[in-house]
A and B are shown apart, each in its own frame.
Chain A
Amino acid sequence: MELNDIKDAFDRVAKKQKLSCSKTQEVIDLIVQEIEKALETVKSASHLDDKYVLTELKRRLQDIAPLGQLEGTQKELNIALSKYTKILEKSFNPDISKAYRNIEFDTHTVNQIIASHFYRQGLFEVGDCFISETKESECSAAILSIFEDMYQILEAMKSGNLEPALKWAAANSDKLTQNGSDLQLKLHSLQFVEILRKGSREEALKYARANLAPFASNHVNEIQKLMACLIWARKLESCPYPQLVSQTNWVTVAEELTRQFCNLVGQSYESPLSVTIAAGVQALPPLLKFMTVMAGKKQEWQSMKQLPVPVELDKEFQFHSIFVCPVSKEQTSDDNPPMIMSCGHVLCRQSINKMSKNHSRTFKCPYCPSDIDAAQCRQLYF
């Protein structure tokens, strides 16, 4: 999209507006001048001339035709204004509600989703304000307390205090290990490096003995490297393991903590509202394109059971396996599951039934020269 053209068009509007503004000032000044001149004459001259002066003023003002003078700049301004509106309409999708189905969302449900979103993003004040303004009940109280805990840990981490994080990790150590996360070790390493950074080698060693040793069996390598860092106490920046002592570790560990925390409390890592909106942003362009082509079929659109056009979302929105049979182009289901043929290619059961004339003959795989016996095909579970 050419944003520069749009910017130019707007600059033109702003310029014409300034021009029209100064022209207006000018015209008003002119009128004021004429009136003041007349005023002077009236004040100085004898009574008889007053009438003449005023008639003269009237004539002068008619000659100036102030509104006529303004017309020109005003017209130019209007042209610039309507041009800008047009370029906006041309460069953007002027109506993104074209692919909207006329169904009301339940306000209560939407508000609950929004309140949870605020809390899980750590916007507690906004969330509280929203709850009180919408008079929604405290259904989101549960989520509030969960995320309050999490943000307390994260806030402490931001100010360099790892205590709450370590405490939480220790309390959930079993579950973390079960999920294959070494968050606890990562937190201890951070703490260890921090002690070193402050320069106390002895204290660091003591800390390592107490807290790193229990992880020795599974993470020998990492612990060895950490120990080597002891040599570079006070000059960690020249340590040969910059990735171990880097300050960015704080950010990545905080991320890992968020991920694990959400996981353990049964919440998704990303806000579901953000995910859905992001998916909507990707889905709207193809839907709007379809609506433009199918302008006459608005009625059908309102009742379709499946979107009429394929909408490809990025892989981060792919939560489920979808198998589309390359022969029938249909999505498989429980009634028509995917089947793997002896050559390793996969089709849906209906396609295999069709090509084998209901298991009455072998057929050639559509993707390779193999002969396929339908009886040897196996159902797949993704």
Chain B
Amino acid sequence: MEMDSLPNGNSAAASPPQNPTPAAAGGMTPFPKLTQLTEALKLEHQFLRVPFEHYKKTIRTDHRAVEKEITSVISNVADVSDSENFSKDDAVNHLTSLVSRLQGLKRKLEEGSRTEHLQAQKCRARLNHLESADAENLAEWNNTRVKRILVDYMLRMSYYETAEKLAESSNIQDLVDIEVFQEAKKVIDALQNKEVAPALAWCSDNKSRLKKSKSKFEFQLRLQEFIELVRGENNLRAITYARKYLAPWGATHMKELQRVMATLAFKSNTECTTYKALFEPKQWDFLVDQFKQEFCKLYGMTLEPLLNIYLQAGLSALNTPYCYEDDCTKEDPLSQESFRKLASPLPYSKQHHSKLVCYITKELMDTENPPQVLPNGYVYSTKALEEMAKKNNGKITCPRTGLVCNYSDLVKAYIS
């Protein structure tokens, strides 16, 4: 620790103390403000990543469709040329149909490239939005960020209507991922209606990527379908189903497979807890949660809503024992019951430097506005006390204890 020595006595009272580590002054200079903004922008990975993943997905799907169609046309030509007897008309018809098929493909391709173009624009809009953040419009930009975070929360919680309304009323459609979540909505709605087909279709659409992340979501869907067959007492069909769809997972997930197969021996009204759980309707909620996780992973989103992440960090940083005292200022979010409830499992903040806030003006007491001590030990800012003395002929009244003293009785406190 650095130990600056100060001259003692009256001269010390006149000159401001030299802080060994200037803490409060840091925020004033423009440079830290800029680094702060850069740090804040670095948190926006998902903001750029999600529209890009969407764009990439469209490119891939379109390309796969082209490959498939061309391969099929070529093999079609090969088939015809290899076949022995066909009439002239057959040949003409066949070739004409191939031509119109290719023309259809071209149309589809044009449509696809329009979508791709829109999605690319969205990616650019986001880059521009990040670039637009600077000192002048920061308040407005931060306000938009709150809205973006809220839309993200709405979408993840399936409050689609509010999400759309908020995005529309603030004109931030390009900055939120409503389209991406529409794809999820279909699957979630179906799962809530106890239908697995859309979820399975989604799995096959994203087969290679799910496989790469070793996802077992498809397996879980298959298990649920099997359970439903057992519930309906279609045991034979269940066995056929298991052979076809469950057996391939045997190598990696034998335990779960065995457990589910055992339900054939029990009925859906079994009281045996291990198997009873499998028949619970909340298994479907579990599948919804599971799907949401897979979906977020695929698009490079955080698994938690952004709101929860920011709230948790913010509450931890604001959380001090003083927030829970009766005279906590209402500007502190933690003066509110609801925020206190959210913060209760979170840690207190930690500070390495003193930060004193004047009880009267709520302003920071630093070298420019140093703290002064009343004879009873209560501390207020110079600004507040000067003002009070000016209004009351040099008399000071302590707002917390009622003690009256002269301005000349005050002593400056040095906080390092």
Contact surface of A with B, Cβ cutoff 8 Å: 1, 3, 6-7, 10, 13-14, 17, 20-21, 24-25, 27-29, 31-32, 35-36, 38-39, 42-43, 47, 50-51, 53-55, 57-58, 61-62, 66-67, 70, 74, 77, 81, 84-85, 88-89, 91-97, 99-101, 103, 105-107, 109-110, 112-114, 117, 123, 125-126, 129-130, 133-134, 266-270, 272-285, 287, 304-315, 317-324, 326-327, 329, 331, 333, 340, 343-346, 366-370, 378-382
B377 contacts A by Cβ under 8 Å: yes
- With A55-B81, A281-B40 as known contacts, state yes or no: A379 contacts B95, CB within 8 Å: no
Query: When the two chains form their complex, are residues A379 and B146 in contact, meaning their CB atoms are under 8 A apart?
Result: no
Query: When the two chains form their complex, are residues B45 and A25 in contact, meaning their CB atoms are under 8 A apart?
Result: no
Expressed in whole angstroms, the Cα–Cα distance for A380 and B52 within the complex equals 57
Of B318, B330, B376, B411, which contacts A317 at CB under 8 A?
A: B318
Chain B, range 37-91, C-beta contacts under 8 Å to A = 38-46, 48-49, 52, 56, 59, 63, 66-67, 70-71, 73-74, 77-78, 80-81, 86, 88, 91
Query: When the two chains form their complex, are residues B42 and A1 in contact, meaning their CB atoms are under 8 A apart?
Result: yes
Q: Which residues of A contact B118 (CB under 8 A)?
A: none
- With A1-B38, A92-B42 as known contacts, state yes or no: A307 contacts B347, CB within 8 Å: yes
Query: When the two chains form their complex, are residues B346 and A101 in contact, meaning their CB atoms are under 8 A apart?
Result: yes
Q: Which residues of B contact A97 (CB under 8 A)?
A: 302-304, 309
Q: Which residues of B contact A123 (CB under 8 A)?
A: 166, 169
Q: Which residues of B contact A91 (CB under 8 A)?
A: 42
- B413 smallest CB distance to A (angstroms): 5
Of B6, B109, B338, B339, which contacts A25 at CB under 8 A?
A: B109
Query: When the two chains form their complex, are residues B373 and A369 in contact, meaning their CB atoms are under 8 A apart?
Result: no
Residue from the set B99, B109, B333, B357 with the largest chain A CB neighbour count within 10 Å: B333
Query: When the two chains form their complex, are residues A36 and B13 in contact, meaning their CB atoms are under 8 A apart?
Result: no
Query: When the two chains form their complex, are residues B123 and A322 in contact, meaning their CB atoms are under 8 A apart?
Result: no
Segment with Cβ contacts to A, from B149-157, B197-205, B267-275: B149-157
- With A50-B88, A106-B342, A277-B311 as known contacts, state yes or no: A318 contacts B39, CB within 8 Å: no
Residue from the set A58, A66, A112, A322 with the largest chain B CB neighbour count within 10 Å: A322
Query: Contact mask B279-311 → A, CB, 8 Å, 1/0?
Result: 000000000000000000000101110111111
A-B contact pairs, 15 of them (CB 8 A): A7-B124, A39-B92, A39-B95, A85-B49, A113-B339, A129-B161, A281-B310, A307-B348, A310-B351, A314-B27, A319-B332, A321-B359, A324-B354, A340-B373, A382-B379
Residue from the set A25, A129, A276, A379 with the largest chain B CB neighbour count within 10 Å: A276
- B140 smallest CB distance to A (angstroms): 12
- B10 smallest CB distance to A (angstroms): 11
Q: Which residues of A contact B70 (CB under 8 A)?
A: 27-28, 31, 66-67
Q: Which residues of A contact B310 (CB under 8 A)?
A: 276-277, 280-281, 284
- With A42-B92, A109-B338, A278-B142 as known contacts, state yes or no: A93 contacts B43, CB within 8 Å: yes
B248 contacts A by Cβ under 8 Å: no
- With A88-B52, A123-B169, A279-B317 as known contacts, state yes or no: A368 contacts B5, CB within 8 Å: yes
Query: When the two chains form their complex, are residues A31 and B102 in contact, meaning their CB atoms are under 8 A apart?
Result: yes
Expressed in whole angstroms, the Cα–Cα distance for A62 and B73 within the complex equals 12
- A63 smallest CB distance to B (angstroms): 11
Chain B, range 109-132, C-beta contacts under 8 Å to A = 109, 113, 116, 120, 123-124, 127, 130-131
Chain B residue with Cβ nearest A106 = B341
B159 contacts A by Cβ under 8 Å: yes
Chain B, range 304-346, C-beta contacts under 8 Å to A = 304, 306-318, 320-323, 328-336, 338-339, 341-342, 345-346
Chain A residue with Cβ nearest B331 = A268
B24 contacts A by Cβ under 8 Å: yes
- With A31-B102, A277-B314 as known contacts, state yes or no: A321 contacts B161, CB within 8 Å: no
Of B24, B351, B412, which contacts A331 at CB under 8 A?
A: B351
Chain B residue with Cβ nearest A310 = B352
- A148 smallest CB distance to B (angstroms): 17
Query: When the two chains form their complex, are residues A345 and B416 in contact, meaning their CB atoms are under 8 A apart?
Result: yes
B105 contacts A by Cβ under 8 Å: yes
Chain A residue with Cβ nearest B362 = A319
- A7 smallest CB distance to B (angstroms): 5
Expressed in whole angstroms, the Cα–Cα distance for A100 and B310 within the complex equals 9
Chain A residue with Cβ nearest B70 = A66
Expressed in whole angstroms, the Cα–Cα distance for A57 and B92 within the complex equals 13
Q: Which residues of A contact B304 (CB under 8 A)?
A: 97, 100
Query: When the two chains form their complex, are residues A320 and B332 in contact, meaning their CB atoms are under 8 A apart?
Result: yes
Chain A residue with Cβ nearest B23 = A312
Query: When the two chains form their complex, are residues B12 and A368 in contact, meaning their CB atoms are under 8 A apart?
Result: yes
Query: When the two chains form their complex, are residues B42 and A329 in contact, meaning their CB atoms are under 8 A apart?
Result: no
Expressed in whole angstroms, the Cα–Cα distance for A57 and B78 within the complex equals 9
- B248 smallest CB distance to A (angstroms): 29
B7 contacts A by Cβ under 8 Å: yes
Query: When the two chains form their complex, are residues A381 and B351 in contact, meaning their CB atoms are under 8 A apart?
Result: no
Expressed in whole angstroms, the Cα–Cα distance for A366 and B414 within the complex equals 12
Expressed in whole angstroms, the Cα–Cα distance for A368 and B71 within the complex equals 87
Query: When the two chains form their complex, are residues B315 and A304 in contact, meaning their CB atoms are under 8 A apart?
Result: no
B349 contacts A by Cβ under 8 Å: yes
Query: When the two chains form their complex, are residues A39 and B149 in contact, meaning their CB atoms are under 8 A apart?
Result: no
Residue from the set A66, A110, A320 with the largest chain B CB neighbour count within 10 Å: A320
Q: Which residues of B contact A379 (CB under 8 A)?
A: 377
Q: Which residues of A contact B278 (CB under 8 A)?
A: none
B106 contacts A by Cβ under 8 Å: yes
- A141 smallest CB distance to B (angstroms): 15
Of B81, B120, B159, B346, which contacts A54 at CB under 8 A?
A: B81
Query: When the two chains form their complex, are residues B24 and A315 in contact, meaning their CB atoms are under 8 A apart?
Result: yes
- With A283-B313, A306-B349 as known contacts, state yes or no: A17 contacts B48, CB within 8 Å: no
Query: When the two chains form their complex, are residues A311 and B355 in contact, meaning their CB atoms are under 8 A apart?
Result: no
Nearest first, the 4 closest Cβ-Cβ pairs linking A and B are A280-B314, A272-B333, A280-B310, A283-B317
Of A31, A280, A366, which contacts B311 at CB under 8 A?
A: A280
Chain A residue with Cβ nearest B168 = A126
Q: Which residues of A contact B352 (CB under 8 A)?
A: 310, 324, 329
Known: A3-B130, A39-B95. 6 other contacts (CB 8 A): A32-B103, A103-B345, A274-B146, A277-B149, A314-B36, A367-B3
Of B40, B322, B412, which contacts A320 at CB under 8 A?
A: B322
Expressed in whole angstroms, the Cα–Cα distance for A107 and B305 within the complex equals 12
- With A17-B120, A54-B80, A277-B310 as known contacts, state yes or no: A368 contacts B7, CB within 8 Å: yes
Query: When the two chains form their complex, are residues B416 and A368 in contact, meaning their CB atoms are under 8 A apart?
Result: no
- B168 smallest CB distance to A (angstroms): 9
